[in-house]
């Protein structure tokens, strides 16, 4: 089995919501815990979380010896800085890894089965990039082979790794999954209400 590290981005401002959306309460747990629960139950080799905005509050909430918590002091310059901070950390501390799976912290409906499906595809194919797709819509997490780490270290701004996906479009393996949770990110209060109703309904 190849070694794939999960990189969870949890440094953003939550600019479209008051407070930090990752600390919203959902069924007795913080939003970030729902995302991490799915990741930690999967077959990834390890989980690293990048912190920035309100990092001390998140560090307190996420105190767990199974998580690697790192700080991104440049988080105000955009999501790309969190990706780069995570890649730099992994290159220094996980030299034997084969790929990284990058995902935002605010996709609480993501299924562990989906994550494992993506891992299986990477393990059994020669794919450089693995992307989940549901009903023709692309989502998270996205997996990058280590051969693309230098490209990830060159990204800028607040668009994450989209530039790398565009540059290497011919190397992308689109994996169709039965999981709308791949794009269940929570950016507004309306998103939050929808998630709460979903959780209360038991779906």
For 72, residues 6+ apart whose C-beta sits below 8 A from its C-beta are 11, 50, 51, 52, 81, 82, 85
CA dihedral 52, 159, 39, 150 (to 10 degrees): -90
Placement of tokens 């038991």 in the chain: 202
Q: What is the CB neighbour count within 10 angstroms for residue 132? A: 25
What range does the domain containing 64 cover? 4-201
Distance CA 13, CA 21 (A): 9
CATH value at residue 136: 3.90.550.10
Rg (CA), the chain: 16
120/203 Cα distance (integer angstroms): 26
How many structural domains are present in the chain? 1
Task: Give the number of other Cβ atoms within 10 Å of residue 43's Cβ.
Answer: 12
Q: Could you tell me the two tokens for 182? A: 């791949």
pLDDT per residue, tens digit, the chain (203 aa), is 789 999 999 998 765 666 688 988 887 889 899 999 999 999 999 999 999 999 999 999 998 878 999 999 999 998 999 999 999 999 999 989 999 999 999 999 999 999 999 999 999 998 999 999 999 999 999 999 999 999 999 998 887 788 899 999 999 999 999 999 999 877 777 777 777 766 544 55
pTM: 0.92
Closest CA to 36 of 23, 21, 55, 49: 49
């Amino acid at each position: 089995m190849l070694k794939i590290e999960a990189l969870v981005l949890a440094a953003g401002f939550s600019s479209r919501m008051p407070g930090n959306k990752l600390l919203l309460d959902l069924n007795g747990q913080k939003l970030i815990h729902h995302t991490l629960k799915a990741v930690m139950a999967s077959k990834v080799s390890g989980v690293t979380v990048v912190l920035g905005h309100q990092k001390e509050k998140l560090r307190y909430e996420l105190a767990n010896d199974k998580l690697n918590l790192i700080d991104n002091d440049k988080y105000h310059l955009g999501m790309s800085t969190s990706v780069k901070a995570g890649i730099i950390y992994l290159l220094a501390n996980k030299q034997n890894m084969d790929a990284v799976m990058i995902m935002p912290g605010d996709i609480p409906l993501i299924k562990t089965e989906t994550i494992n499906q993506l891992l299986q595809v990477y393990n059994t194919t020669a794919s450089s990039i693995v992307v989940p797709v549901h009903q023709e819509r692309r989502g998270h997490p996205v997996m990058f082979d280590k051969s693309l780490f230098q490209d990830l270290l060159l990204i800028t701004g607040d668009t994450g790794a989209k530039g790398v996906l565009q540059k290497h479009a011919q190397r992308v393996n689109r994996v169709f999954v039965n999981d709308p949770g791949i794009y269940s990110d929570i950016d507004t209060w309306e998103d939050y209400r929808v998630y709460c109703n979903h959780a209360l309904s038991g779906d």
